[in-house]
Structure 1
Amino acid sequence: MLKMKHLAVLVGCTLATSSFAMDIQPDPENPGGYVIPRADIEAAEKAKTNDPMYAVWAKALETLDNAKVEAIQPGLASNPSNVIRAERVFPETEWDFLTGMAAPEYTYTRFLRAIGKFPAFCGEYTDGRDADAICKKSIITAFAHFAQETGGHIAIDNTWDNPEGLEEWQQALVHVREMGWSEGQPGYTTGCGGNDWQNRKWPCADGQGYFGRGAKQLSYHFNYGAFSEAMYAGDATVLLNNPALVADSWLNLASAIWFFLTPQAPKPAMLHVIDRTWVPSQREKDAGIGYGFGTTINVINGGIECGEQNKDKGQPVNRIRYWQGLQNHYQIPVEADEVDTCWQQLPYGSLNLNGATDVLYTNWEADYKYHSDRPGGVSFECKLVGYQTAYSALVKGDYEKCVTDVYDAQISWPEVRVIDGPIDPGPGPGPGPNPDPDPEPGDFPAWEATKVYTGGDKVSHKGGNFEAKWWTQGDDPANGGPWKQIGGTTPPIDPPVDPEPPVDPPVDPEPPIDPPVDPEPPVDPPVNPEPPAGVTEWVAGQTKVSNGDMVTNGGKCFVAKNNPGVWESPTASNWFWDEVPCK
């Protein structure tokens, strides 16, 4: 069944200088917040995604309006060009040949509509590649996986259950719902209801089950939500509230085409393995990953089916057998460097890509590097990471959502508002919206002894205004040290008349030690507390655990379950981790 990667969060706090010119100013409408021009946000995003492959990925995920999709019928001259190509290389007679045991919810019309939703599937190539051949190979590859995921798996000589003597590779699409499940059953709700970004972005509906449905057995709320966004112009709630549509409409096949076209960084999209748009990185080559059907297995289910330990396992053996039967029947050309198997490949979930410079990622995460020349040392940028997050580099507008943290997924991230046009400098001197050269006392929030402040934060205290020079907590601004006075009056020296006497003042206290003048700021103030003794601190891409092992991440402790890979970083209880008290 289709399972995309769960969330992970990596926190770093290393000293950095600004990589982009950004006009970041205090938000006059929100004390403590900031405003950034949209042009600066767009320029930063463009610089981070200037590799041509990002445009290829985004193009592959473009969709046709649903009203036009539902007008598609076999044989219509008005059908989209990619649908007409699919009809030409895979007519309805071939559909019937491969679906002799299929559930009635799967039809040729729905198959064409699923293709029509995604113009890149069976689309045109302008660089000399044979679009018809790629289309046919893509369809046959999809059917090999359908035969494994939802097939009958009945031997040809079992005349009782297979009276027509169909080959197993002719038995695709038998199941439309996961065996043992039916509509009305709540289930597959692992992770639902948590206080995390996945639930804020893809909230589970009461009483709904997110068990496997459709040709690729779409499962779990975070996949239903993401697929719903692709199908319904960004609206995740349609399929979260009515997941049965993935079984009972053309979405039962569209979910498989969507998965076929979607890269799960660092995994490539299966289409781009087949049409060779994807070029494997050196790390992938070193791990035995290259072109061929075997890599599509690694993309779908590499953690369970790839690697030498799985060489004789039933699932990959079946997939390969179905592919080879279909490939032989349809005479699909196979290049000399294509490999059908993946036992010789390292599963993607075990691939250590730390430090790799030739691997592209597809999700945005807050960049926590400390920038000394920006307010509070915050970068106000997002970076590309190799795990699922709330924000996709392939979805227009998601970089801005990441910077403004729409789904409240970041850690200690200030509130950011993006504005059109440049920031109005106002009549006063200096940067910012209408600055005052000497703000009046009380213009900034009152200093709080328990609050953490970082460089650039401003407070009012004892009749003066102060700005933090670096990270500080509990240091009275009036004493200097990590604070500099930027306005107001000097805190009064003489006490007020008739002050209340202190209760039991200490006898002959030691005189206070004068704070050093402009000490060097501490480098990288601690983000996470020290892990408990004997508990491993999680490092994504490196830490390897077994079920039952305890790790710490972000100051919390977690126990592993369901074999998390090295990228399944723990941040909250989910399919792979249980959050437990740190002891």
Structure 2
Amino acid sequence: MTKLRPLSLFIGCAFAANSYAMTPQPDPDNVGGYVIERSQIIAAENAKTTDPMYDVWAQALATASNTVVEAIAPGFNTNPDNVKRVERVFPETEWNFLTQMAAPEYTYTRFLRAIGKFPAFCGEYTDGRDSDAICKKSIVTAFAHFAQETGGHISIENVSDNPLGLEEWQQALVHVREMGWSEGQPGYTTGCGQDDWQNKRWPCAEGQGYFGRGAKQLSYHFNYGAFSEVMFDGDATVLLNNPGLVADSWLNLASAIWFFLTPQAPKPAMLHVIDRTWTPSQRETDAGIGYGFGTTINVINGGIECGEQNKDKGQPVNRIRYWEGLVENYQISLQSDETNTCWQQTPYGSLNLNGATDVLYTNWDANWKYYPDRPGGVSFECELVGFQTAYSALVAGDYEKCVANFYGSHASWPAVRVVDELDPDTGGGTTDPTDPPVDGVASWDQNKVYTGGEQVSYKGAIYEAQWWSQNNQPDLGGPWKLIQAAVSTTNAA
């Protein structure tokens, strides 16, 4: 992933300055279209994403190859370093202790492979933070949510259904598929087949069901497609065509680790709440959102489980109970500013972020501001926004796809093609040989594209473009202003 940076939310229409050197040229292969040099695209993207958190997110979402992952097994010397840390702080005996009621599809080997896919999970901190402690706390946090999402929820007093007398926080991963669903059943196909960007990016496969599977109960085609892109080098079709892999392979746990590491703007990644890489914005602090397990609930399901109205609701009460049981059992150290609950928090979906300048966003959308020095006033840029779009700032190459409108999500956006290098002769044409340059300023070329600030000479005078121009004769005004009048060569009588 490339280097990234935040942009504050823009409200309303505005006249925008020429912040980046975007010089689109007419596309000789597509009438009405334009070409842009890739270096300009990269420069614009980097200029919008300089905040260090974008690099942190990129590192957190870096993945190992599946060849490496599928060679992982308990005790192997070749296991990646983060996997070896997990084996040390959470050995197979602990896995067995927490999964006595689990579905057989969930195994310790698959757990290690899921973690091995993401080197940042239980990775090494070099800034003095306790890597082992963060690793153990991350695993315990994940299991508290597993116990709610896929747990048995059987009381310890219910001897007939719980003969081993397991605590409810020991009953995680009972379900690998959503209850009432099985492979071969089409379902959860809401939105499939529509003519929209989601279907262009993540097309549903005929006859497939995108119901909940795995430890996080991954659901709906857009989530399967996005997860597939991460797991299979950008190929969304693998899991769209075979969603059952999320139940029957190590992907059943990898889907949960992926969710744990992925920010959903403006929500932080759960890992960065746990390891305190994330710093709450002022809006979040004012909304009661800070460090602790409660914020991870808000990240997962805040609209249903957080806020005063949900204080006594079953789901959050269960999560908190499971978390507290696991924390006590594993003697997890908590800091004084951590809060286990989220009833005192505003759910993220209800948080008003309009005008906030200290919130980071993770999706690209077309920049609709007006640029007078560009064709039609179009920016030919994208900007960061706080809602889901076709293009993620966390996916390498998505900014370029956004500018080129790859999935057709920008209505009335001009056709754009990105090239490695602009052809200096794009559009053809030559300078009039009878109108030589003046004082080193090149003479006007009717076929060349000029942008604001560029100067030309014409019939002995010098003109400067005020905005984008092509085939506008300088002495007729319009986009051109006179900088230096022609000097008369006729001698006075």
TM-based fold match above 0.5: yes
Contact 1:101 1:171 in 2 (8 A): yes
- 1:515-551 deviations in Å (ceiling 9; x for gaps): xx989xxxxxxxxxxxxxxxxxxxxxxxxxxxxxxxx
Gap regions ≥5 residues in structure 2: 1-8, 433-442, 448-465, 480-493
Pick from 427, 430, 448: which aligns with 1:428? 430
AA in 2 matched with 1:299: V
AA in 1 matched with 2:276: R
Distance 1:485 1:253, change over 3 A: closer
AA in 2 matched with 1:261: L
1:220 aligns with 2:220: yes
Aligned to 2:394: 394
Contact 2:282 2:358 in 1 (8 A): yes
1:46 aligns with 2:57: no
Deviation at 1:130, TM superposition (A): 0.5
Aligned to 1:326: 326
Contact 1:364 1:399 in 2 (8 A): yes
Distance 1:38 1:177, change over 3 A: same
SS at match of 2:417: strand
- 1:559-583 deviations in Å (ceiling 9; x for gaps): xxxxxxxxxxxxxxxxxxxxxxxxx
Deviation at 1:486, TM superposition (A): 4.5
Aligned to 2:348: 348
AA in 2 matched with 1:216: K
Give the number of the structure whose residues are more often helix, by fraction. 2
Gap regions ≥5 residues in structure 1: 1-8, 440-468, 471-482, 488-516, 520-583
Aligned to 2:244: 244
Aligned to 1:383: 383
Cα distance in 1 for residues equivalent to 2:388 and 2:250? 27
Aligned to 2:316: 316
Cα distance in 2 for residues equivalent to 1:392 and 1:518? 39
TM-score, normalised to structure 2, is 0.86
Aligned to 2:27: 27
TM-score, normalised to structure 1, is 0.73
Aligned to 1:70: 70
Give the 5 Å matches for 1:174-573: 174-425=174-425, 428-429=430-431, 437-438=445-446, 486=472
AA in 1 matched with 2:55: A
Distance 1:10 1:229, change over 3 A: farther
Identity %: 76
Deviation at 1:436, TM superposition (A): 9.3
AA in 2 matched with 1:428: T
Contact 2:82 2:120 in 1 (8 A): yes
Contact 1:37 1:423 in 2 (8 A): no
SS at match of 1:16: coil
1:18 aligns with 2:45: no
Contact 1:184 1:209 in 2 (8 A): yes
- 1:178-218 deviations in Å (ceiling 9; x for gaps): 00111111100111111110000000000100000000100
Deviation at 1:484, TM superposition (A): 11
Contact 1:428 1:436 in 2 (8 A): no
Aligned to 1:115: 115
SS at match of 1:148: helix
Contact 2:446 2:471 in 1 (8 A): no
Cα distance in 2 for residues equivalent to 1:10 and 1:359? 12
Deviation at 1:14, TM superposition (A): 2.7
1:101 aligns with 2:101: yes
AA in 2 matched with 1:240: L
Aligned to 2:463: none
Cα distance in 2 for residues equivalent to 1:291 and 1:327? 16
Deviation at 1:163, TM superposition (A): 0.2
AA in 2 matched with 1:394: L
Contact 1:12 1:369 in 2 (8 A): no
SS at match of 1:298: helix
Deviation at 1:27, TM superposition (A): 1.0
Q: Once structures 1 and 2 are overlaid, which stretch shifts more, 14-23 or 283-292?
A: 14-23
Contact 2:15 2:371 in 1 (8 A): yes
Q: Give the aligned CA root-mean-square deviation in angstroms.
A: 2.3
Contact 1:123 1:131 in 2 (8 A): yes
Cα distance in 2 for residues equivalent to 1:303 and 1:234? 30
